[in-house]
Structure 1
Amino acid sequence: FDTLLHSEWDRAVTQGLFIFPIDYHTKRRILEDGDLQYIIEFNRDRKEKRRVPYPFEIVNAPFDKKKFNFNKIKDEEILFSLDNEQQTDKHLVIINNAPIRPCHLLLVPDRQLEQTQVLTSDCIVFGFEFVASSAHPYILAGFNSLCGYASINHLHLHGMYSPDRLFLQTIKCSPFHAKSNCYLSDLFYTQAFAFEVQHVDEFHRIAQYVYKITNYLTSNNIAHNMTIVKGDSFSSSENVLRIFVWFRQSVINGKNFDRCNFACFELAGYMTLHSEDVYNSLTESELCQHMNDIALSSEEQKRIKDDVKSLLDELV
């Protein structure tokens, strides 16, 4: 899997399919003033040269054929398909032509169906399979809803190799819903529901739990992000897949803040910065404050958590 991914990525680089040259020696540092070991990298090109994100005001907007979507990409941008031999185009792995870092990919399920950027159970399983297929310990996949920094309204996940361990791989979480084995990541004001997958045969069951939550968030116009990483079990010494679903304040019309913007990778422990000044001066304490600033009110969070408990009760 990893050999194929890298060889296909190198082919795309050789064919000049990217908007800007790929920097394999980008500046990187770990924020040392706290315990998270948060990773930041400097990438000016992505801010200046990427396609301007489309503005969104609601979490579930209709598909617009006139706007960019993944049916408009070149065939050469497809790296491979994560499918059995009978279905060679159902789960596509394609390049991000304005990548955060080398091997920043997009995972596109059933692109011909023109699904909006709303998670499906099948798409969640696709993310599980992508991460589980790799031998790399720091691979991750993630989803951004509209108003949660998705820039394209055509269903996709992001995939990437992190350059180092992410705090999300080991962070402790609190028990939340025992029957579904759901946990709560509550280190920050901005909280996340968390699940773990220990075996491949659990993929579809856990995906149903995750989907139940994301479908609720979408239906209630609540911006959200999902990240899938390899890491420690919440309750044992086993290695598992960890899945986090954040519920957060909406970002209307793709607004970018000067210092920190949080999508699925940034919430996991990795951030790319386009300002050298911010790159040089950012501290973990400042970053955590910005992360706390995107939290919903305590009243909204309580309502969401109560509703999610009821939804999970229906499934188990």
Structure 2
Amino acid sequence: MYYAIICIFNNITKVWSSQDFFLMINKRLFSKTNPLEFGHCLLVPEPDRCHPQVLTPLAVQMGIETVLLSADPGFRVGFNTLGGFASVNHLHLHCYYLNHQLRIKTSPAEPILPKKNLCGLLDFPGGFLFYTRGPHLDLTVNAVCSLADIMLDGNIAHNLFITRGCPPRRERDPSVSRNGVRVIVWPRLSCFGAKEELAFNVALCELAGHLPFKNRDDYETVTEDEVQEIIRKYLLPQEEFREIKVSEYLINKKIT
């Protein structure tokens, strides 16, 4: 059966008013009734324009700016497409606080398209890395959206994670400043329908190394090898991943 990652729109502006945390210009912040972590909210760009769950330049810019504006290094922002464990088809990003170090903040990377701030992660699970220190975000925002467009055209689900982190380097160096922002994008295999009863789902936070387990038994008994095996089931095959890296659209598109 064929599933598309662009589908019928779901209107989440109809959520209970008690979940409407506060209104900003052209955006809303909704509290989560089943939070992943402390302060878990949904950041909804231009809610009244009824965007589907597809990354837009405004959404990416809001995600990066929110992390840059936060004084807490544990503040994270993320995004799931349909097929990547998004629950509803109305444009939204997740934001929450995680008071633990994540390896993804210092994971080594190699350049793919330096002029577009695009690198490839060298650690498992492999993904695309963009880095910026601000305040000018157009280059990074447009490059992220160009990558998202390629995956949308190929009906490839993906997850995005934004966190404070260090500049891309081939070798891990914990002493390097982590004041910049890392934007990581993982192309992945789609998963539709009921969520499988595994130890954990594989979405934005799990790919980043934050594993919210569904029950205590799995939390206490699962091994690192088992975690990697679960995640590997959802990773895009290497050949398809390489095709995205060498896409003529990504290489040749002009970024202003």
Q: Same fold (TM over 0.5)?
A: yes
The corresponding residue for 2:245 is: 305
CA distance in 2, matches of 1:165, 1:91: 29
CA distance in 1, matches of 2:50, 2:183: 25
Show structure 2 runs of 5+ residues with no match. none
What is the SS of the residue equivalent to 1:253?
A: coil
RMSD of Structure 2 on Structure 1 (CA): 1.9
- Of the structure 1 ranges 280-289 and 223-232, higher mean CA displacement relative to structure 2 is found in 280-289
What is the SS of the residue equivalent to 2:85?
A: coil
Structure 1 residues 76 and 181: CA distance shift in structure 2, 3 A:
same
The corresponding residue for 2:21 is: 79
Contact between 2:200 and 2:212, CA under 8 Å: does it hold in 1? Answer: no
The corresponding residue for 2:6 is: 60
Contact between 1:91 and 1:126, CA under 8 Å: does it hold in 2? Answer: no
Contact between 2:85 and 2:203, CA under 8 Å: does it hold in 1? Answer: yes
Q: Is residue 165 of structure 2 the alignment partner of residue 225 of structure 1?
A: no
The corresponding residue for 2:140 is: 206
CA distance in 2, matches of 1:177, 1:283: 36
Cα distance, 1:298 vs structure 2: 2.4
Q: Is residue 207 of structure 2 the alignment partner of residue 267 of structure 1?
A: yes
What's the TM-score once normalised by structure 1's chain length?
Answer: 0.74
What is the SS of the residue equivalent to 2:73?
A: coil
Q: Aligned runs of 1:131-210 on 2, under 5 Å?
A: 131-188=67-124, 190-201=125-136, 203-210=137-144
The corresponding residue for 1:36 is: none
Q: Deviations for 1:14-51, whole angstroms, at most 9, x for unmatched residues?
A: xxxxxxxxxxxxxxxxxxxxxxxxxxxxxxxxxxxxxx
Contact between 2:107 and 2:122, CA under 8 Å: does it hold in 1? Answer: no
Letter in 1 for 2:234: I
What is the SS of the residue equivalent to 2:100?
A: coil
* Count of aligned positions: 248
Higher relative contact order (CA 8 A, sep 6+): 1
Q: Is residue 191 of structure 2 the alignment partner of residue 251 of structure 1?
A: yes
CA distance in 2, matches of 1:149, 1:254: 10
Contact between 1:138 and 1:166, CA under 8 Å: does it hold in 2? Answer: no
Find the partner of 1:283 among 212, 216, 223.
223
Letter in 2 for 1:60: I
Q: Deviations for 1:232-281, whole angstroms, at most 9, x for unmatched residues?
A: 11149442100001001111224324223211111111111122210111
The structure having more radius of gyration, on CA atoms, is: 1
Contact between 2:165 and 2:181, CA under 8 Å: does it hold in 1? Answer: yes
State percent identity of aligned pairs. 30
Q: Aligned runs of 1:81-96 on 2, under 5 Å?
A: 81=23, 83=24, 87=25, 90-96=26-32
Contact between 2:163 and 2:181, CA under 8 Å: does it hold in 1? Answer: yes
Structure 1 residues 62 and 219: CA distance shift in structure 2, 3 A:
farther
CA distance in 2, matches of 1:254, 1:312: 37
